[in-house]
Amino acid sequence: MKFAVTSKGDAKSNSLMHKIKSYLLDFHLTYDDNEPDIVISVGGDGTLLYAFHRYTSRLDKTAFVGVHTGHLGFYADWVPEEIEKLVIAIAQTPYQVIEYPLLEAIVRYQHGGKETRYLALNESTVKSVEGSLVMDVDIRGQHFERFRGDGLCVSTPSGSTAYNKALGGAIIHPSIAAIQMAEMASINNRVFRTVGSPLILPAHHTCMLKPVNEPDFLITIDHLTLLHKDVKSIQYRVADEKIRFARFRPFPFWKRVHDSFISN
Ligand code: NAP
């Protein structure tokens, strides 16, 4: 089996990365940075986001596992003290794989430029470069509302505990194939009106954002922020692809929610 190890880059994560690599080589696994069957991410949830984007072209062939060197994470749920146990479990394949839904974002441009497609593990947000964001929101091909405010956030179920949660969105169990759109400070008065509640869309529904005036936007895909000019539309839906996690022991999602946000 081929493996790769990624690190957050701090001294603790780097040292753990080298340890894991050397243990797995001792078990006669092959180190392959380009085509790994399993990727061990050492750091935090942010580190796993980077690892995910490094290997998006081979999601069907790669499984991820996260070790945290800081606080308990949603994607990084192994602690440094457990790495011997983890390494033995990895070496004794086959392991169980569980899949989580991803978000697909397609940005189309005015004047017929080539569209760009992204996959997000947590979320995509849209903000204007200057002033309020003004966007028409279509759901399933029907006009739903004209949004005015700071921005919009469209998240995956596993990303629902990240930015989405800070916006008052619901926490969604990752076994549900859905996306959630949450508002960032919408302007609501007698003239401007939005629904004001986060919306949860099933896998067969598409959400399309269309600029009203200004066509330039700051669009984030997880930790990446990109300036897109002359945008015609941004289309969101549940992606066909999924992220695969290698599971070696049960760690129920609601327990992770409890341990992260209530008490540990
Ligand atoms: P960062 O600003 O350095 O860290 C964002 C924080 O979010 C970190 O504590 C990270 O955990 C945590 N996190 C990431 N994914 C999570 C998840 N699925 N559930 C719960 N917590 C999660 O940024 P970054 O490390 O590059 O990560 C980018 C992410 O930051 C974005 O995808 C977005 O979700 C989040 N973000 C949140 C807010 C907000 O809450 N107001 C604002 C902007 C962006 P670790 O410490 O374990 O890495």
Nearest CA residue ID for atom 7, ligand 1: 162
Q: Select from 62, 72, 10, 12 the least CA-distant residue to 40.
A: 62
pLDDT of res. 71: 87
Q: Where are the beta strands (DSSP E) in the chain?
A: 2-7, 30-31, 38-43, 63-68, 76-78, 96-109, 116-120, 123-128, 133-139, 142-155, 178-186, 199-202, 207-211, 217-221, 224-228, 231-247
Please list the active-site residues: 45
pLDDT of res. 113: 83
Structure tokens at 227: 């300036």
Q: Annotated binding residue at 131?
A: no
Q: Select from 112, 121, 148, 152 the least CA-distant residue to 235.
A: 152
SS3 state of residue 225: strand
pLDDT of res. 197: 98
Q: Which ligand 1 atom lies nearest to the CA of residue 48?
A: 48
pLDDT of res. 181: 98
Name residues contacting ligand 1 (CB within 6 A).
44-46, 49, 70, 73-74, 122-123, 158-159, 161-163, 166, 222-223
How large is the angle between the packed helices 11-26 and 83-91, nearest 10 degrees? 40
Nearest CA residue ID for atom 5, ligand 1: 46
Q: Which residues of the chain have pLDDT under 50?
A: none
Nearest CA residue ID for atom 35, ligand 1: 163
